Structure formats: C-alpha cells, structure tokens
Structure 1
Amino acid sequence: MDIANFGVEEWLNEWEKKATYDISQSSVEAFTLEELLALDGTTVEEFFGRLSKVPQDYGWIEGSDTFKEEVAKLYKNVDPDNILQTNGTTGANFLALYALIEPGDHVISMLPSYQQLYDIPRSFGAEVEFVELKEEENWEFDLAKLKELIRPNTKMICLNSANNPTGTQIDRKMLEQIIDIAKTSGAYVLVDEVYGPLSADTDHISIVDLYDKGISTNSLSKTYSVPGIRIGWTATNKELADLFRKYRDYTMICGGVINDELAVHTLKNKDKILARNKQIVAENLKVLTDWVESEPRVSLVVPNYVSTSFIKFDIPQDDRSFCLDLLNDTGVLLIPGDAFDFPQHARVGYCCKKETLIKGLELLSGYLRKFD
C-alpha cells in the first residue's frame, strides 16, 4: 500500500514547537485541565482524587454509556448505541473509510479538504475525483460538478463541513441536494463535522440526521477546545455502527479511563464551553478581518464562525518558502497552502490567544512589506 505524505501534519510536526507566535492551529484556544474541570466547580484534586481509586484497566471499549448518551444529545435521530468512540476525528474518519472503501470503488471528495478524506481512499485502491472549491465563488460547493462526477459505482462522497482550511460551510439546503445526488447511486456521505459553526445564525445540521447512509464524524478537539484528550466518535445508523465495530476492533481498543472521564466532563459542560468559544471566535474574527482589510497583500473569504481560515497571498514568492522564512525570521507560524494542494495561500488559526493573534498578524504585515 502506498500513501501520500500528509502535508499539514508533517509541517506541524516539524515546526509547531519552534514557533513563538503560533497562528496556524485550527482549534479554539485549548483549555488547561484546571480551566476545563473548573467549569462546574470541580477542582483538579477532586477529579483526580476520585480517579485515583479507579482501576486503570481498559475501561469502556466503545466509550462509556454516559459518553454515548451525551454525544447522542448532539444529534436529533441517533441512538446512543450507534455512537462509537474513536481516537479523535482522525480515528473516526479512518474507521469509516477502512470499513467501507475497497479497491475499484469510486470516491468523490471536495478540495481543499482534510487530506485524510481523499488520500486514504486512494491508498485503499479507490479512484478519487474532486469537486474543487473555487475562491472566486467563495469556496462554495459545486453541485453541478458533483452531478457530473457521480457514477453508478460511487461508493462514498467525502465532505468536510465546516471546511478545513477555508472555514466555509455546506448549509442544510445544499446538504439536502447533495443527499439527493448521492441517492442516485446509493453512495454513503461522510461528513467530517469537527468544525462546528459557533453562530446562532448558521443553518447547521448533521448528515446523520438527514440521510440513513450518512456518516457523521466529530470530536472534542476543535469546537470544544480539548484536542489533547484525543476523543472523537462516529455517529451512524445501526447497520453501519455494527459494521464499524468489527473494524474498530483492529484499530482501537479504547480511549482510556481518564480520557473518557474528561470527555464526559467536557460534554456535560458543553453549553459553558460553547458560550466561551463563541466569544473567542467573534472577537478574534474581527481582529482577523480588520487586519485583512488593512493588508494590501492578503485577501480572505471570511470563515463562517469556525476556527480556521485561509488567506491568499499576493507576493512574488512561493507560499512554502515564505512561511518558512517568516517562521525563522519572526517566530510566526502559518501553514502553507501547498500543504492543502492550494499554493499561494496559508491557513491562519485565528482562535488562539488574542494577544498572540494580534502580535502574529502585526509581524506578518511587517514581513510582507519587503515585497512593496
């Protein structure tokens, strides 16, 4: 089996710990353990004091009953038994693709997107074709192109909504039209939903609540600000959940006793977390958009109140070498667009600490002046 190098992960693995001003990450500012536990008044001593008496065995293989019940509350029509705990959304995506994609299958993916969603199917021997999002069309999904690509043997349509890196969303109306197209070939629709929009005005609904062959993957990493506990899930119908169980036994035993407890604590306090993160997104997005308006060498399709954005450079240098020079000379970290197969762009993770964002953008502007 051959697979392409994972552009984003390789870049971050090499450079993220060398940054002084990391404005590349796509999570909303991560909680410390103390901050997370204190959401309902729990102290670190109370939480770990209780857990210190719990055997550190494998715990709940698929996730605790409480975890499954709390996740099921995020959907309208999903039975808790059809929630399977995974190692982040990355693990959830891999599980679904591993269980369903075979050599010779036809898969349609959007581009740009999370690379896993198209290069894993390729590595399994599937033929992958793309609905390419266009910046001049505000990165909107092209239904006409999807209709052109769909075939009788199309096994799956892989989507990422809200999208990484652009931060744009497929709304309910368009998702329903995608489902109508998928039904013509009986294709599954997998949607990586880890970037949940943080706006009351967003018409957001999960694929699993609209389509019986829909697969929702998600985690606590982005919208819920705890990527470090590495807990995600799949949400599907019963038939798919039972199929995934077989493959899951080969890829993951459990999430761990402590991580499951932290995940449950996070989900039980989700309203407080979302209120906090809505404020961070709104305030930092204004910082970002004000900066873009004042910066002549950058343009942006504004993200839909999610934690990732994709700026375009107007510079006479390729994006990768520019981002590396920027890091070495200023300590500012971005992710070059060519890691997403979209050169002359960069991902800006604007939901870091506000002072980090402000200083990082200030240094980026100063560095761009060398091209004036």
Structure 2
Amino acid sequence: MVRFETFHVEKYMDDHELTAKYNISETCCASISVDQLVALSEKKDAQVVDLSRKMLYGEIPGSDALRSNLARLYSTKVGTPLPKENIRITPGAIGANQIVLSSLTGPGDHVICHYPTYQQLYSYPASLGAEVELWRAQAEKDWIPNTEELKKMIRPNTKLIIVNNPNNPTGAVMKKSWMQSVIEIAEGHNIPILADEVYRPLFHSINPMDPEFPPSILSMGYKNVIATGSLSKAYSLAGIRVGWIATRDPEMIERFHRARYYSVISVSGIDDQIATFALSQDTIHALLARNLQLARTNLAVLEKFMIKHDDYAEWVRPQAGTTAFIRFSRDGKPVDALDFCERLQEKTGVMLVPGDKCFGDEFKGYVRVGFVQEEDVLKGGLEQLRKFLRKDFDDVKLAE
C-alpha cells in the first residue's frame, strides 16, 4: 500500500485560510475573475467560453489552441521552436508533477530534490518507493544550492534531479550559469531534470536583459528535461485548474501521455477555453504586466516593513515569484514558528505559514509570506503584524 506523508503546507492552508481576515500566505498573484481577464485583454468584446459547445471530453491532450499558445511562449528567442505536440495539459502544476514523478521514479530509484521547496516534489516520489536525497540550499548562500555538492550526490541509480525555479518558499532565482552547471552534471550521466517552473515568468527583481537571466530549462540545449507550470501563480487563475507538462523529448511526452490516461483523460473544456484566452497574444502581456507591477509595488511595501523590524525579522530578499521566507527571532533565538503563526491569526486574523511545520524542522523561526495580494490586504496584514510584534511578540514561544 502506498503511504503518503501528511502534506503539511496544504493541510495548514486548508485548516486556516477560511478563517483568515488577512491572508498574506497565499502564493498566487491576486486572483481575478473572467470579467477582469476580459477587461485586461485587447479584445474587450471577446466570448471567452463558447456556451453552445457540447460538453464532450474534447481534445484529450489539451486543445490545439491552448498548446499552441504555450508552445509559442516556450519558443521565444530560441533557435528551435517547441512543438505543441510536446505539451500535455493537466489539472494544475500539481497534476503535472504527479504524472512526471509517477512515470520516472519508483522503488530502487535515487532522486535528488532541490530543498526547501514544495513538499510534493520530494514526498511524492518517496511515497512511490524512491530514495529521495535533499539538495539543501542555505540562507547564507542566498538560497542557491551548491552544484559541487550535486556532483557528489550522483549515484548509479540516480533517476531524476528536481529543481524549483523560481523557488517556493524563498523567492530565489537559480540563474543561467547555475542552470547550465546542473545540466552539464545531469547530461554527463544521462539523468532527466524536472524543473517546476510554476512561478515563471514572474521575475520582478531581475532584468530580462541581465546575461544571467534564467531561460526556461527547455531552452538550455539538453533534451532530457521536463518543465511544469500552471495558470495559478503568475497568471492569477488558480480556479480554472490548468497546468501543463512540456519537454523536448517526444518519447518522454508519449510516456507521460500514457500515464496521464490513468488520472486525467482530459481537463475541463471550459477551463481550457479560459486558459487559451489568458495565454493569447491579445491578453497575456497585459495580464503579466499587471502582476509584475503588483509584485514590485508590494515587495517595496514588505521591504519597508522588514527594514523597520530588523530587530525581529531577517530575510534574503526574493528575486522572483510571490513568496518571501522570513525568519523571526527574539533575544537572538528563533521563535516557534507554529506558535507564532497560530497566535498571530487568533489575535489579528493575519495568516502566515510556519516554515518549520510546512517546509522542514530545520527552518526554525521561518514563516512564508505571500506578498502578491491585493495591496490593501498586504498593507492591512502587515499593520496588524506590526501591532502584534509590539504587544504580543514576547509571549510567543521560542523554538526548542
């Protein structure tokens, strides 16, 4: 029997988000309605969903139109375009990752996973019987894992290397030269790389003209790579549950397609139509511009808070994505993050995610903040957090 470890971050969110007044733990850019999506588009009179269409299974891999839009995004500024046939649509990135992990890992396999990261990426292959080794990043090194350590971790039975770029929860960006080093290591052993790129392309603090700006892993010249993504995080459309798997290896995408029959068959036709509209050239630029501006504005608000409260809080300023990983301490000792978060929400309605509970015991004192919310939600939440730090912080337990 497959035994699943408790998915701590999802359980914590499920247990707490409905009672939060200021949810500044959410990892999606501030969500929008379909009406708002149309308002952003150049086609203001567009019919996003064809309500006359019969609700059949539709195109099993995902619609040709949606996969063509994604293929165009992955083909920008590359010599070899990505064919739409090398993309499969899934229920969110979590569905994409599940298909990839179940297809490539199992008993007797060794898997190396970038850490900290979303728990699915290491706990799910472990539940399938694989031995998962965590490739640890440290705050002192800007949350960038050491590629020399990766070389030492490779074994004859290493079947997959997993990276999350941009990273959840730290907001770190693994830059182009770093990615090239990882690819060279993997290619030398013919090991596939899974890159969870769900926060791409929300690069709010690195210029696209920077020579170290990271392209998608699909643009790095190694065929044996897989990218997963979704409409949830950078595109503000978590509710439509659309994600994808993309690879340049036609044999690998066919392998995922066969596995996909067992869990997906096809995604919702209505969701597919909304996703197609969102990723069309008439809409995507305005949607991303809205979210990048929101990320930059809110990050500046959060940075001011950090500067004013540097006696209690420290961080590595995030470079991309929607999250920051902040360490709170008192008298030089990290607080009990779970106690901190629960007291904070009970007294103020502000929801944060405890790092030691949801990302690993070693992250004592850390909390994850999701800062790309509506600006008033972030400002209101930080104001309540400020009052809590002044009045109630001394009552928070210290980490053991």
Please, what TM-score do these two structures have when normalized by structure 1?
0.96
Find the counterpart in structure 2 of residue 166 from structure 1: 170
| Whole-Å separation in 1 of the counterparts to 2:127 and 2:176 | 31
Letter in 1 for 2:326: I
Find the counterpart in structure 2 of residue 286 from structure 1: 300
- Among residues 192, 204, 207, which one is paired with 1:201 in the alignment? 207
Deviates most, 194-203 or 254-263: 194-203
| Whole-Å separation in 2 of the counterparts to 1:23 and 1:30 | 13
| Whole-Å separation in 2 of the counterparts to 1:46 and 1:304 | 36
Runs of 4+ in 1 over 3 A off after TM superposition: 41-48
Q: Is the 8 A contact 1:198 1:274 kept in 2?
A: no
Structure 2, unpaired ranges of 5+: 76-80, 395-400
Find the counterpart in structure 1 of residue 28 from structure 2: 27
Deviates most, 315-324 or 280-289: 315-324
Structure-2 change in CA distance of 1:31 and 1:44 (3 Å): farther
| Whole-Å separation in 2 of the counterparts to 1:25 and 1:112 | 17
Find the counterpart in structure 1 of residue 398 from structure 2: none
Letter in 1 for 2:384: L
Q: Is the 8 A contact 1:153 1:185 kept in 2?
A: no
- Among residues 310, 323, 326, which one is paired with 1:311 in the alignment? 326
| Whole-Å separation in 2 of the counterparts to 1:187 and 1:277 | 35
Q: Is the 8 A contact 1:33 1:44 kept in 2?
A: no
Find the counterpart in structure 2 of residue 256 from structure 1: 268
- Among residues 118, 121, 132, which one is paired with 2:122 in the alignment? 118
1:60 Cα deviation after fit: 1.7
Letter in 2 for 1:231: V
- Among residues 259, 265, 275, which one is paired with 2:277 in the alignment? 265
1:340 lines up with 2:359 in the alignment: yes
1:61 Cα deviation after fit: 1.3
Structure 1, unpaired ranges of 5+: none
| Whole-Å separation in 2 of the counterparts to 1:40 and 1:122 | 43
Find the counterpart in structure 1 of residue 78 from structure 2: none
| Whole-Å separation in 2 of the counterparts to 1:182 and 1:162 | 20
Q: Higher helix share goes to which structure?
A: 1
Find the counterpart in structure 1 of residue 155 from structure 2: 151
Q: Is the 8 A contact 1:26 1:308 kept in 2?
A: yes
Letter in 1 for 2:359: F
- Give 1:1-372 correspondences, 5 Å limit: 1-40=2-41, 46-48=47-49, 51-76=50-75, 77-196=81-200, 197-199=202-204, 201-202=207-208, 203-210=213-220, 211-236=222-247, 237-268=249-280, 269-295=283-309, 296-315=311-330, 317-338=335-356, 339-341=358-360, 342-369=363-390, 370-371=392-393
Letter in 2 for 1:303: P
1:143 Cα deviation after fit: 0.9
Letter in 1 for 2:34: L
1:149 Cα deviation after fit: 0.6
Structure-2 change in CA distance of 1:195 and 1:47 (3 Å): closer
| Whole-Å separation in 2 of the counterparts to 1:14 and 1:371 | 23
1:188 Cα deviation after fit: 0.7
Letter in 1 for 2:255: L
1:325 Cα deviation after fit: 1.0
| Whole-Å separation in 1 of the counterparts to 2:364 and 2:189 | 34
Letter in 2 for 1:70: N
> Could you list the per-position Cα deviations for residues 187-244 of structure 1 after superposition, in whole angstroms to 9, with x for gaps in the alignment?
1100000111334615021112222111000011111111110100000121111111
Letter in 2 for 1:201: N
Name the % identity. 38
Q: Is the 8 A contact 2:31 2:236 kept in 1?
A: yes
| Whole-Å separation in 2 of the counterparts to 1:86 and 1:69 | 15
| Whole-Å separation in 2 of the counterparts to 1:159 and 1:40 | 33
SS in 2 for 1:282: helix
Please, what TM-score do these two structures have when normalized by structure 2?
0.89
1:343 Cα deviation after fit: 2.6
